[in-house]
Amino acid sequence: MATIRKKRKEPVSVFQRDPGPCSRLLINWLATLAVIMVFGLVMLFSASYTTGYLRMGDSFHYIKQQALCMLIGLGCMFAMSYVDHRFLRKMVVPGYLIVLAMLAVTLTMAPLNGCRRWIRFGGFTLQSSEVAKFEMILLCSSLAAKAPQVEKLSPGKMVIMNFREWLHVRVWKQLVIPVLPLIPVIALLALEPHMSGIVLTVAVVGTILLLSGSGGILTWVGAGTAGLMLETLLSHVDSIPYLQDRLDGWTQDLSKMTDQTVQSLYAIGSGGLEVFGTPFMMGLMEYAAMQCVQPELPEGKGTVGVEISSNHLAPTPVGMKVTATAEVTGISANGKMITFKVTAHDADGLIGEGIHTRAVIDNARFLQKCNDKLARV
């Protein structure tokens, strides 16, 4: 008498002892990643070495921070390579429920600039939509992998299905089931609102379906339709208040500016009035004087302001462009002091004038003297 024994499931550990040999594809991918990282560091250094030197006294200040974050990221990537993929597949459903709970909790948080996108706890903030993107990659990949692949039934041969089979396999199994979990995520992101998060999440799921071959021609038709819808969305952005408000923040109409822009302009104002403040006019004059002589100075030299006397002659409303000019009127006998005549204009004419004196300094020595104060405090 024959007995039927159920196959015993092997326990799945979190970490696998051996992630497998390094394939040529993996080596090429790591090499490409290394090139991208080095290129990014070079671009960051070229854009920040002057700022790092002038502000922090170290040209490598910002690149050191970026390199540290890069090493942490590489460490996390290396650790994740040892996580058993079968364990990740077991965690996709609990992870999906956790993501839905996080997105729901996000909606209860106090709004920031009209949006609820961050969970705040203990002085830290977490953007739940970023976690949702990662979870949707795992969940959609798992569902797409479980869907029956028609091409595998008869490799090398064209499989002919009747309409009912086509609906069951191509539409229901390969498209509807992988896409269904996306709907609650999109709904919660729309309530935040987070339009860019919706676009990126949909793009991630769509890319997975395209690469897995799910849905056949229907997936490609859906991708084309989504592209046309996105183009239509961007061409009619004025009909979507949230997106239009984001664009209106760059206009000169104070009533249409975002809260961040308005508060920044208020900070530049004077006495709480919506006008261009005197301290910022003087700062613009100083900047014009610095730019006037900096190209003529030897490498390693710079100037700092030591005295300024100005008259603010006329007010400038918010949104009007202001320019400042500087003219050298005198240089001390030892060449260490330079005097400028400075003026400021808006679109209507002269708004300020004054006299400004700057001292020529050695940048490294000046910063060292400044930093020595911190050691004495």
Instruction: Write down the catalytic residue from 106, 201, 219, 286.
Output: 286
Rounded Cα distance, 345 and 281, in Å? 10
DSSP 325: E
Residue burial 239-260, b: 16+ Cβ < 10 Å; e: rest: eeeebeeeebeeeeeeeebbee
Name the residue among 136, 112, 134 with its Cα closest to residue 125. 112
286 is known as an active-site residue: yes
Q: Which residues pair with 311 in a beta bridge?
A: 353
Q: Which of 219, 312, 316, 356 is catalytic?
A: 312
| CA–CA separation, 366 and 362 (whole Å) | 6
Q: How far apart are CA 141 and CA 88, in angstroms?
A: 11
Distances (CA, A) of 216 to 166, 171, 289: 10, 9, 65
Residue 356 annotated in active site: no
Helix (H, G, I), strand (E, B) or coil at 3: coil
Candidates 307, 309, 291, 311; CA nearest to 351 is: 311
Q: How many CB atoms lie within 10 A of CB 322?
A: 15
Catalytic residue among 258, 261, 278, 325: 278
Beta strands in the chain (DSSP E): 118-121, 124-127, 301-312, 322-331, 337-346, 349-362
Which residues partner with 325 through β-bridges?
343
Radius of gyration of the chain (CA): 31
User: Contact, 331 vs 303, CB < 8 A?
Assistant: no
Instruction: Identify the residue whose tokens are 């058993």.
Output: 84
Three-class SS of residue 350? strand
Nearest to 105 by CA among 69, 78, 132, 84: 132
- For the chain, the 3-state helix, strand and coil shares in percent, each to the nearest 5, are 60, 15, 25
Q: Is the dihedral of CA 136, 139, 145, 146 positive or negative?
A: negative
168 is catalytic: no
Q: Is 15 helix (H, G, I), strand (E, B) or coil?
A: strand
Residues serving a catalytic function are: 278, 286, 312
